[in-house]
Amino acid sequence: MTTTMNTSNRFGLSGLLLAVFSVTIAVLLSACTATSETLAGAINNTTTTESATESETDRLNAWFETKYEEELQRSPLSLTVLGRKEKYNEVDDASEAAQDKELSISRANAAELRERFDYEQLTDEGKLSRDIWLYQNERKIDADQFRNHDFVFDQMSAVQSFYPTFMINFHKVDEVADMEAYTARLGGIATTIRTLLGRAQKYAAQGVRPPRFAYDGVIDQSSKIIDGAPFTTVASSASASDADSAIWRDAKSKIAALLEAGKIDPPTAARLEAEARSALVKDFEPAYAELIAWFRSDIDNTDRIATGVGRLPRGKAYYEERLRASTTTDMTAAEIHQLGLDEVQRLNAEMLTVMNEVKFKGSLQDFFAFIREGKQFYYPNTDAGRQRYIDDAETKLDFIRQRLPKYFGLLPKGDVVVKRVEAFREQDGAAQHYRAGTPDGSRPGVYYVHLSDMTAVPANQLEVIAYHEGLPGHHMQIAIAQELESMPTFRRQIHFTAYIEGWALYAEWLAIEMGAYDDPYANFGRLTSELWRAIRLVVDTGLHSMGWTEQQAIDYFASNSPEPLASITSEIRRYIVTPGQATSYKIGMLKIRELRTKAEQALGEDFDIAGFHDTVLGGGALPLALLERRVDLWINSFK
């Protein structure tokens, strides 16, 4: 694959070394007192030093490839996400024993890395790779002490919905063997659901349960998954649907595609359908029925009044660990809370400016109500309205797509498309999200939208969300990372939430420079989005560190934002079951903007926006301190 790079981006491993080597030669040639023998010796020494540096980095990169491939081979689902078909009939081992094994391997790999490679002999990029690998290892060890604090099942991480979503969207069927692997995986999913249910039951016995609304979500989503043919169990209080379930419809359509392509005959198609049906009815459905039954039996043990994880044993320590993992900083809950309060105040002031621009008479709270309740700010709650939303989002992405070359040298090979979330996992007011395509671009990235309730997706926020999830946001960053041939593979696939979400929030702001938000209400939607992330700093820390209830958090959010109540409620419930994650967006964005200001001030007329963006995106996801080091190297390359 080919990576397109803007020549104005002077940061790059080979380019930086070449620049250093050229300067060395120039200095030596200007030294009139140097003899030819001295000059030749100096050049040879420089060449030897640089060769040793390259050699050590090459050795390290080869080691990374070996270790990353070993890790991939332990994760059949990851192989599939990457478009590979090894272990296509298997799923990942979700047991605690497997988790123990992974941790042991991580510790051994970290020790081997420190022992085998000379840090001082590595290139700057090689040092970054080493430090990222070790940082990731330290985070795993830090997190493992709170293993039993995780909510195995909830309405947001939605493990129960992940597996059918995975089979529908990632498990491609091109040959008979692929469909046979599909059927085998249905049985593997049933085993995994039971394994995870056992872990949830164990943690519940230790007093670790998500709140009642999360139980309701698990029951509802799981019931929808086994509602319809070929399942016979009545999955919910209502009668099961006569229509095909989503997973059965997918299996049949993939078999039908093989038949249409002439790769199988009708008897083979009938056999494959019978095998898939059997796996669904005998393995898949009973596992989900057990999951539903236990959650229904245990729901009376949950908290009706939801609060954060501070209520759990060692809950505050767990939350501080989650903050470290999410922000890649050592910021405390108190520091983050205050930062949020300051940002909310700043953004409210900017919103007043827009309110005055449109000549609205009244307070900011009145304007919030006007935006929240005005029918003109919503698409019709019809199928036509939903399609219009998708079409308009595609139009906004096309607008940005045409302007990318002015702001970026690195451009993604893979495209991005807009899709509605599958019915069995769609939730009123849930956040839109992005799922990556394959590194070769054969499967596009997808910007998913929840459109079951159109009153929860304000029209004036369509632009900003499209830019966050698609271009120049998540798709731009993740697709480019996957395509970085010069980087070790693990760096193309690694995720650090503060970097990834920080970039997407920065991208919302960057779109202003790219000519977006020409309507003041769209700009107000952008401010609403950024304010939303500032509010997260306040309510997340309030919930998990300061004892706030769900209702307190909802009230604070509603009083400081025009977001619809359905969306606010969904968001607060998300924060409750994923402690710390919501804080990463604003902290990451502020860091990227800080680094841009730093580069602009240091470089003056030499500052190049495409070069800066390529520096930020050209190293894959990074902890924020290591991102700053990379930007500093780019700045110093101009000296």
| Residue-level pLDDT at 220 | 95
Within-domain flag for 535: yes
pLDDT at 3: 30
Q: What is the rounded distance in angstroms from the CA atom of residue 175 to the CA atom of residue 512?
A: 47
The per-residue pLDDT for 232 is: 72
The total domain count for the chain is 2
Q: What are phi and psi of 485, to 5 degrees?
A: -65, -25
Residue 276 and residue 356 share a domain? no
CA distances from 558 to 46, 517, 567 (A): 63, 24, 10
Give the count of alpha carbons within 13 A of 114, CB side only. 8
Tens of pLDDT, residue by residue over 365-412, are 999 999 999 999 999 999 999 999 999 999 999 999 999 999 999 999
Q: List 244's β-bridge partners, or say none.
A: 229
Of the residues 267, 290, 309, which one is the last residue of a structural domain? 309
- The whole-number pLDDT of residue 567 equals 87
The list of the chain residues with pLDDT below 50 reads: 1-46, 234-240
> In a 3-state reduction of DSSP, which class is residue 229?
strand
- Domain end position, chosen among 309, 337, 359: 309
Contact 411, 405 (CB under 8 A): yes
Going by DSSP bridges, is the β-strand pair 416-420/433-435 parallel, antiparallel, or unpaired?
unpaired
Query: Counting Cβ atoms within 10 Å, is residue 11 exposed (0-12), middle (13-18) or buried (19+)?
Result: buried
Judge if 332 and 255 occupy the same domain. Answer: no
- Look at residue 107 and tell me if it is in a domain: no
pLDDT of residue 50: 60
Query: How crowded is the C-beta side of 92, counted as CA atoms within 13 Å?
Result: 21
Does residue 131 form part of some domain? no
Cα gap 135→106, rounded to integer Å? 11
Residues 305, 454 within the same domain: no
Same domain, 369 and 296: no
Based on its alpha-carbon atoms, the radius of gyration of the chain, rounded to whole angstroms, reads 26
Same domain, 289 and 349: no
**Whether the model pTM is above 0.95:** no
Question: 309, 324, 343 — which closes off a domain?
Answer: 309
Residues 401 and 517 in one domain: yes
In which region does residue 433 sit, left (phi positive, over 0), alpha (psi from -120 to 50) or beta (all else)? beta
In a domain, 482, yes or no: yes
Same domain flag for 230 and 249: yes
101, part of any domain? no
Tally Cβ neighbours within 10 Å of residue 140. Answer: 16
Do 158 and 298 fall within a single domain?
yes
Residue 164 inside a domain? The answer is yes
**Position 578 in a domain:** yes
448: enclosing H helix or E strand: strand 445-449
Give the separation between CA 542 and CA 334, rounded to whole angstroms.
9
Which residue has tokens 């649907």? 241
- Same domain flag for 227 and 212: yes
- Residue 586 in tokens: 């604003």
In sequence order, which residues have a C-beta less than 8 Å from that of residue 516 and are 6 or more positions away? 396, 399, 400, 463, 467, 522
DSSP code per residue over 213-226: HHHHHHHHHHHHHT
Cβ–Cβ under 8 Å, residues 371 and 564: no
| The pLDDT value given to residue 29 | 27
* Same domain? 328 vs 446: yes
Q: CB-side exposure of 341: number of CA atoms within 13 Å?
A: 8
In a domain, residue 608? The reply is no
Between CA 504 and CA 54 the distance in angstroms is: 34
- How crowded is residue 488: how many other Cβ atoms within 10 Å of its Cβ? 25
Please tell me the chain's helix, strand, coil percentages from 3-state DSSP, rounded to the nearest 5. Answer: 70, 5, 30
Q: What is the 3-state secondary structure (H, E, C) of 294-305?
A: HHHHHHHHCCCC
264-293 residue pLDDT tens: 999 999 999 999 999 999 999 999 999 999
Q: How many CB atoms lie within 10 A of CB 520?
A: 14
576 and 427 housed in the same domain? yes
Range of the domain at 518: 315-592
Phi, psi of 123 (to 5 degrees): -70, 170
Question: Do both 180 and 212 map to the same domain?
Answer: yes
